[in-house]
Structure 1
């Protein structure tokens, strides 16, 4: 039986970051002088790269400016307005220590904040590496982040059974395009319909359920 490697999404999978992210979007739109979209629209921005979401409302240099303003609030307050989902630490610890699986964080959140969050919540000791997006948005798509980990952090990928674990269709699509398994979780920001339509290999209600996948 092949050893397992898990690439784990951050927002909506490890942490419930909705309060901090929504507050950061509110701050950014207000500072940019643009009417803030509805909460339902803003919730759809949790998961995709920031540059893609702001690109729906801004053009050119204003997109980067909006991202920078968003990160002003996020760096000071938003990144601390989070909760670790129930069962996450238990699952991550079991996978790392008991199952001897290699673990990576694969997130579209910017690399600096992703690393700080994982350290602040005390899970950094379980992960081989945290890989997030670049500050300028040139490296932010989940498919590219997964590919980077496969190409640069894992030797002889054929020797492992590799899973991408996430809550949105972007995690599933990224996994499928890179030829690895995917596990969609139902407690995050995505929908079961989107996860199924994207072609998730497995769908689980809670993170601890992945311990039962053979």
Structure 2
């Protein structure tokens, strides 16, 4: 029997990391003697792989030595600035909601633009790692989100599921476009990086203003009345 699955983005979907990410980018540029970047410009890159984000901000090629240096410095600062705050950065209802979904036997996974090691460390620091049988990072694919490769790899690792039985949950058009390209239904959360009008441009199947709304949409999709009774 094919199993129902839910794939989640991480930053801005489960964990409220954008401000901490901006702080870490800013400190990275300062440490390496680079010109300061506007907070809104940094925020606009959240959801992209690190090499793409630094390349865009610095206006240099992806394989430029400066991009490589920035990634290394960012990863060091990530452990100092973001990980200690992880538990306090969970969006309301996330842990309760994941517990309910897990109890219903759904296969839960992460597909993120973070590198795998950073995603794994963040999930552990936030106390969420055990909910997810699969975590796919940007460094595990040749073409990260919005390309569908991350979605396909996640499905392959989950096993015994299909695009028809899988829902992608994310806060950016990168997540929604990945889902669309892979043939998955999607839930756009409005409390993350991209606003409602931007999210609507990628035609999500559902729109959720809270994590409880996310769980209710999943309950509707998979006809899980027990979940509705718990959340509503």
**Length-normalised TM-score, structure 1:** 0.90
Deviation string for 1:2-43 (max 9, x for gaps)? 752100111001100123211210112112322111111111
Q: Does 1:86 align with 2:92?
A: yes
Structure 1 Cα separation of the partners of residues 4 and 198 of structure 2: 25
Higher helix share: 2
Q: How does 1:181-196 map to 2 (within 5 A)?
A: 181-196=185-200
1:132 deviates by 1.4
Q: How does 1:9-48 map to 2 (within 5 A)?
A: 9-48=9-48
The equivalent of 2:158 in structure 1 is 153
Runs ≥4 residues deviating over 6 A = none
Deviation string for 1:34-55 (max 9, x for gaps)? 2111111111122111111111
Higher relative contact order (CA 8 A, sep 6+): 1
Q: How does 1:65-104 map to 2 (within 5 A)?
A: 65-82=69-86, 83-97=89-103, 99-104=104-109
* C-alpha distance 192-75 of structure 1, shift in aligned 2 (>3 A): same
Higher strand share: 1
1:67 deviates by 1.2
Aligned length: 211
Structure 2 Cα separation of the partners of residues 63 and 102 of structure 1: 36
Q: Does 1:178 align with 2:182?
A: yes
Partner SS state of residue 135, structure 2? strand
Partner SS state of residue 176, structure 2? helix
The equivalent of 2:127 in structure 1 is 122
Deviation string for 1:50-84 (max 9, x for gaps)? 11111121332221111111112112322333400
Q: Does 1:164 align with 2:182?
A: no
Structure 1 Cα separation of the partners of residues 91 and 68 of structure 2: 31
Structure 2 Cα separation of the partners of residues 128 and 152 of structure 1: 9
**Length-normalised TM-score, structure 2:** 0.83
* C-alpha distance 18-30 of structure 1, shift in aligned 2 (>3 A): same
Structure 2 Cα separation of the partners of residues 163 and 156 of structure 1: 11
Q: Structure 2: where are the runs of 5+ without partners?
A: 221-232
Partner SS state of residue 29, structure 2? helix
Which stretch has the larger CA shift, 27-36 or 202-211?
Answer: 27-36
